[in-house]
Amino acid sequence: MVNAAMEAAIAGLPAGFLRSVIWDQGKELARHREFSVSTGIAVYFCDPHSPWQQSLAERIERDTNGLLRQYMPKGTDLSVHSQDDLQLIAQSLNNRPRETLGFMKPNREAR
Give domain limits for the chain.
Answer: 2-53, 56-110
Q: How far is it, in rounded angstroms, from Cα 98 to Cα 57?
A: 13
Q: How confident is the model at residue 106 (pLDDT cuts 50, 70, 90)?
A: confident
Nearest alpha carbon to residue 19 among 46, 2, 40:
40
* pTM score: 0.47
Cα gap 67→73, rounded to integer Å: 10
| pLDDT at residue number 6 | 84
pLDDT at 85 over 80: yes
Tell me the pLDDT tens digit for each residue of 34-68.
988 988 888 888 777 776 776 666 666 777 788 88
Q: In which band, very low, low, confident or very high, does the pLDDT at 111 lie, cut at 50, 70 and 90?
A: very low
Per-residue model confidence (pLDDT) at position 12: 80
